[in-house]
Amino acid sequence: MNILVLGAGGRENAFCWKLSKSKYINKIYAVPGNAGTENYAENHNISVNDFQKIKSLVIDKGIKMVLVGPEEPLVKGIHDYFLNDDSIKDVHIIGPQKKGALLEGSKSFAKEFMIRNNIPTAKYLKVNEDNINEGNVFLDDLSPPYVLKADGLAAGKGVLIINNLNEAKIELKNMLIEKKFGEASKNVVIEEFLDGIELSCFVLTDGKNYINFPMAKDYKKIGEGDTGLNTGGMGAISPVPFVSKEFKNKIEKEIIRPTINGLRKEKIAFRGFIFIGLIKVKDQPKVIEYNVRMGDPETEVVLPRIKNDFGEILISLVNNKLKFVKMKFSDHSAATVVSVSGGYPAKYEKGKEIKGLDNKTESIIFHCGTIKKSKKVFTNGGRVLAVTSLGRDFKMAVSKSYSFIKNINYKGIYYRKDIGFDL
């Protein structure tokens, strides 16, 4: 089968890498891909949101399956677009239709879904410009810090965590009235702050059956010791050392099963990944957010620990055979360390030549924002490389990644030196 991987990051590089080992996959295409996907796939420089051009490519190349990496094309309805066009409706899209994508595309939809299905999550109130006063009263009753979330997609920037009550009220007004995040903050979800440690949980589902992928923990802050601005993710580890068997069972019973049952009961068609952002508050897992895709950089530690043929898993999914899939995970730990462009997540420059990629290593080098020009590789985004290693424990894995990454060179390179510091 020919498959198209949609997206341009480390996650998509990891998808292509894993699919290249599948005996069920003939040819891999990447849209738009990066210098790393090029090692396994044929890149096509098309936007992930240009459904018409994607359709032409799919028809031209005889592509039978599309694995969607990022959320935006899903929230914009790529799956529905394919289903509504007779010439491509039989192409299997991995990723939900618009309705299911609302689990990520609308924070209030996700909260309402959780409440209806008794899934543990933070207390919340949805507000718009007409009930801003109710929002202020709700804030008065909460203890600091205060969590304000733009309802819609805001490129990962729509969540504010504020210590001061007055400041929170001002920001609430900024979001609703001044449209701080544009249309995305027309509605705002105000949430109780949950104090605990975060982890990421991944399931692949056809809307009725599901299989678990390994859990992971990512490091979102730019600075060491989890300080500074939020990023897409600066590193990740799998498995998560503080997840015991009992805690895993609790996640399964109180969160994963009610989520899948909820989709079925509410007749929300869903074929694809659900990434459940969890927080462990004492011994209670609670949902921080749903994403309708794999995580990045979590994919870069999750896939290297899976022993199954990834192509076979996806084919089982679309053939309604998911319940026959037996997942096999490596006992080893995986760690990835992400190198970024100087200045990221604020302003940064692109186009810096990357040197050291050919150094000998056991690590797997996943490219995030890179581009190849006349056989040289240049930076082309905020996150540049994700260097993944396996080891008997996460410390060993992390240290292997550091010994490779310290010999990588491009102008402005930065990476956190403390991935795993809190475990």
Indicate the burial class of 217 (C-beta count within 10 angstroms; 0-12, 13-18, 19 or more).
buried
| Of 7 and 152, CB closest to ligand AMP | 152
User: Taking CB within 5 to 8 Å according to partner kind, which of ligand GLY, ligand AMP, none is near residue 193?
Assistant: ligand AMP
SS3 204: strand
User: Taking CB within 5 to 8 Å according to partner kind, which of ligand AMP, ligand GLY, none is near residue 233?
Assistant: ligand GLY
User: Distance of CA 391 to CAs 218, 330, 394, Å?
Assistant: 17, 10, 6
Position with the least CB separation from ligand GLY: 295
Indicate the burial class of 392 (C-beta count within 10 angstroms; 0-12, 13-18, 19 or more).
exposed
In the complex, least distance from residue 264 CB atom to ligand GLY, rounded to whole angstroms? 25
Q: Does residue 145 have a cis peptide bond before it, meaning omega lies within 30 degrees of 0? A: yes
Q: How many CB atoms lie within 10 A of CB 87?
A: 10
- Is 147 among the residues that bind ligand AMP (CB under 6 A)? yes
- Is 226 among the residues that bind ligand AMP (CB under 6 A)? no
List binders of ligand AMP among 84-103 (CB under 6 A).
none
User: Looking at 52-60, 76-84, 241-249, 295-303, which segment touches ligand GLY (CB under 6 A)?
Assistant: 295-303
| Of 58 and 274, CB closest to ligand GLY | 274
List binders of ligand AMP among 332-371 (CB under 6 A).
none
What is the contact mask toward ligand AMP in residues 272 to 311, using x (rule: CB under 6 A)?
A: -----x----------xx----------------------
- Is 171 among the residues that bind ligand AMP (CB under 6 A)? no
DSSP label at 371?
Answer: E
User: Taking CB within 5 to 8 Å according to partner kind, which of ligand AMP, ligand GLY, none is near residue 318?
Assistant: none
DSSP label at 335?
Answer: E
State CA 142 to chain mean position distance: 30
- Cα(289)–Cα(201) distance, rounded to whole angstroms? 11
Residue of 100, 295, 311, 382 interacting with ligand GLY (CB under 6 A): 295
Q: What is the DSSP track for 352-410? A: PBPB-TTS--SSEEEESSEEEETTEEEE-SSEEEEEEEEESSHHHHHHHHHHHHTT-B-
DSSP β-ladder status, 383-391 and 364-367: antiparallel
In the complex, least distance from residue 164 CB atom to ligand GLY, rounded to whole angstroms? 27
DSSP β-ladder status, 221-223 and 227-230: antiparallel
| Of 207 and 277, CB closest to ligand AMP | 277
Size of the site for ligand GLY (CB under 6 A): 6
Catalog residues that contact ligand GLY under the rule CB under 6 A.
218, 233, 291, 295-296, 298
Catalog residues that contact ligand AMP under the rule CB under 6 A.
122, 147, 149, 159, 191, 193-194, 198, 220, 277, 288-289
